Each structure stands twice: as structure tokens, then as C-alpha cells.
């Protein structure tokens, strides 16, 4: 079995390299052996590679003038120039590694297929990075206006999904089989109190409930509070009297007190209004939006972290997940009157031409690009 060369670029030598590492080696070996094949490779750039050494070598290969094929077959002059150019970015490269890449390439004629694999893995990394940024943004306690910032990151994530869909048009709707994490019931320091104040305000001023129809019971973090909101909206819809006692009775009819909730505590909570329904409803909805955004980012991170998922599956799974943000975002815009400009989908940044596979061409021809 041939030895797999590994560049000295600071990687942990104890961890076995992932499959894409070997794919990158095969692609680089093909291009080093037959430099003219770089003209047939599209959809990737230097940052598409998983290591700095491979990125530097690819950048050198595509920037240096092509050697004469006959001269290249007899001399290592062009390989030496590639090595010298790559060393300007990654000093750990050796001539032995460059020559070993040529030896480990199975079929130089498969360079285009290797490039497609590198492109697919780069798409996975891009998606995972964008989803991670969304999750970190939601969790950042220092942001003065977390919702607009989180929505900006959600738009950036959606743009990455769109670009991947352009490169890998989705096939028949095969969802990722990855097990995604369930929504995390995080304890918010102020959520419970704000929800209680909202319920009390709605009990005291039930005519205002109709003005916050964009608020749903699912937006509450405490199950009892969500159930009481159901009670309040039901009583208001039926135009029945609303006060702490009638809400408590409705809660009993719905089985909300079966979990041990004390009737007296419920009455006291509903009898202490402070502030307006609209004010506290917006607070509850904003927190719900952030929770949905965090869970969406976690789902997409899980999809992108599973190497068994194809780019087609990643696109479908990510778009399904982003629907949840879109739904709560629409309600948030209704609540706050915020209507940001519609997101423009950017054109691909590195692909110079149309998708490189026949399947992709066929998908574009039938309009199945989403």
C-alpha cells in the first residue's frame, strides 16, 4: 500500500486525515503531473482546500504559466517553481511532498471529479461556519440589539445555502438523515417574569389581546404560561368575561393545573399587572425569535457536520430549517413595524461557469434550481 504523504503545516499528526485530504492530494497530484488539466477544473479556489499547504500549492499551480508539456515531462523545473511559490505562503512544504503528490494520484484524467469533491466538502465547511456564526450571535450577551444582528446572520446563512444550491442544484427531496438536537429549553433570567407581566396585563386589559394576534403560545418559555395564554385568547375570542378567576377556571378545564400548579399562585400572578400588553408581547416574541434562530443554526450545524450528507441533502435540510426563522421573523416585523429591505441573493463567488455535472446542467435546463 503506498504511503500517504502529509505536509508539515502544523496539523495534529496523531489524528488521521479525513477523506477530503486524500482527494485534495489526488487533485494536486493530477495538476502537478498534467498542469494543463487546471483549465478543466472549475468551482474551486485556493480557500476551497482544507489545509494551508494544499491551498498554497493550488494557488501556485493556477497562477504560474503552464509549462511546455514536452519540457515538463523531462524536467522538474516547473515543479520547483511551484514549490518555491507555494513556500512564500507555507514554509513547511518540501520537495519530497510535492513529488509524492504526483505518485499518489490514481488517475490524472479524473482531476475534474476530484475538484467536484473538493468543492462539495468546501460547501459543507462554509455551511457549518455560517450556522456556527448564527448560533454564537444569538448567544452573545453583549449585543445591544440582538434580533437585527441575528437576522443579519440568518440572511448570510441563507445566502450560503443559495450559493450551494446554485453549485449543487437539489435533486429529489431527500432530507438529511442526521439526528438533530432538540430545541434547548434554556432558562432565561427575565423570561418568566416578563411572561407573567404579560399575562397579568392581558387579564387586566383583555381588549388589547386582539392587537397582539401575532403572538403565539409557542413563543412562551414556561409551559404553564403558554397554557394560560391559550386560556386568555380563547376567552377573548368567545367574548366571555376575563379576570383572574375566569382564567383560572378555564385553566382547570384545560388540565393546566394537573401538574401541581397552585390555584392561589396563579390568581396572584394574574392579579399584578404592570406595563402594556404590546410592550411585554414584543419582549416575549423577540426572545422566541432568538431561540428559534439558535435552534435553526444548531440543526444546520448538525447537518453540515455529518459527512454522510451530500450537498443536495444539505441544501434541502438547511432550507427546511430556515423556514422556521422566516415564520417568526414575519410575525416580529408585524409586531415592530420593522420591514428591512428584501435580501438579494448574491451570485456565486468562485464558480466561473455553470455547474460541472450533467445532472446539474439538466437541473438548470428544467428550472429545478431550488
Nearest to 101 by CA among 1, 15, 23, 16: 23
Q: Which domains does the chain have, with CATH numbers?
A: 19-106 (1.10.860), 119-370 (1.10.860.10)
Q: pLDDT band for position 24 (50/70/90)?
A: very high
- Read off the C-alpha cell for 286: 423577540
- Read off the C-alpha cell for 139: 448567544
pLDDT of residue 138: 94
11 pLDDT more than 70: no
pLDDT of residue 122: 97
Span 291-308, pLDDT tens digits: 999 999 999 999 999 999
Asked whether 277 and 335 are in contact (CB, 8 A), the reply is no
pTM over 0.75: yes
Asked whether 153 and 145 are in contact (CB, 8 A), the reply is no
Burial environment of residue 342 by CB neighbours within 10 A (0 to 12, 13 to 18, 19 or more): exposed
Q: Which residues contact residue 127 at a Cβ distance below 8 angstroms, ignoring those fewer than 6 apart?
A: 157, 160, 161, 164, 300, 303, 304, 314, 318
Rounded CA Rg of the chain: 28
Q: pLDDT band for position 9 (50/70/90)?
A: low
Q: Which of residues 258 and 194 earns the better pLDDT score?
A: 194
Query: Quick one: DSSP state of residue 306?
Result: -
- Which of 270-274, 300-304, 346-350 has the lowest average pLDDT? 346-350
Amino acid at each position: 500500500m503506498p504511503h500517504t504523504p502529509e505536509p508539515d503545516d502544523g496539523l495534529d499528526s496523531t489524528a488521521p486525515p479525513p477523506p477530503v485530504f486524500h482527494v485534495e492530494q489526488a487533485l494536486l497530484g493530477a495538476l502537478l503531473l498534467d498542469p494543463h488539466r487546471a483549465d478543466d477544473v472549475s468551482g474551486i479556489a485556493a480557500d476551497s482546500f482544507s489545509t494551508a499547504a494544499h491551498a498554497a500549492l493550488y494557488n501556485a499551480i493556477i497562477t504560474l504559466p503552464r509549462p511546455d508539456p514536452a519540457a515538463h515531462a523531462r524536467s522538474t523545473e516547473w515543479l520547483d517553481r511551484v514549490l518555491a511559490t507555494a513556500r512564500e505562503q507555507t514554509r513547511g512544504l518540501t520537495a519530497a511532498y510535492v513529488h509524492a503528490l504526483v505518485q499518489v494520484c490514481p488517475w490524472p484524467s479524473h482531476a475534474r471529479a476530484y475538484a467536484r469533491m473538493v468543492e462539495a466538502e468546501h460547501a459543507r465547511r462554509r455551511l457549518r461556519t455560517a450556522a456556527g456564526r448564527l448560533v454564537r450571535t444569538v448567544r452573545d450577551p453583549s449585543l445591544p440589539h440582538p434580533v437585527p444582528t441575528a437576522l443579519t446572520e440568518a440572511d448570510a446563512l441563507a445566502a450560503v445555502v443559495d450559493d450551494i444550491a446554485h453549485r449543487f442544484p437539489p435533486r429529489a427531496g431527500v432530507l438529511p438523515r442526521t439526528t438533530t438536537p432538540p430545541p434547548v429549553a434554556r432558562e432565561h433570567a427575565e423570561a418568566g417574569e416578563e411572561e407573567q407581566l404579560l399575562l397579568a396585563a392581558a387579564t387586566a386589559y383583555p381588549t388589547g389581546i386582539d392587537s397582539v394576534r401575532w403572538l403565539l403560545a409557542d413563543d412562551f418559555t414556561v409551559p404553564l404560561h403558554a397554557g394560560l395564554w391559550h386560556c386568555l385568547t380563547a376567552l377573548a375570542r368567545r367574548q366571555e368575561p376575563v379576570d383572574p378567576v375566569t382564567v383560572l377556571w378555564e385553566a382547570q378545564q384545560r388540565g393546566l393545573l394537573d401538574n401541581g400548579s397552585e390555584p392561589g399562585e396563579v390568581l396572584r400572578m394574574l392579579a399584578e399587572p404592570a406595563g402594556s400588553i404590546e410592550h411585554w408581547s414584543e419582549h416575549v416574541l423577540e426572545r422566541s425569535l432568538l431561540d428559534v434562530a439558535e435552534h435553526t443554526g444548531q440543526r444546520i450545524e448538525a447537518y453540515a457536520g455529518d459527512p454522510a450528507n451530500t450537498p443536495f441533502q444539505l441544501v434541502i435540510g438547511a432550507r427546511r430549517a430556515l423556514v422556521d426563522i422566516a415564520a417568526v421573523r414575519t410575525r416580529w416585523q408585524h409586531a415592530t413595524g420593522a420591514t428591512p429591505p428584501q435580501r438579494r441573493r448574491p451570485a456565486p463567488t468562485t464558480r466561473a461557469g455553470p455547474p460541472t455535472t450533467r445532472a446539474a446542467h439538466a437541473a438548470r435546463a428544467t428550472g429545478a434550481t431550488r
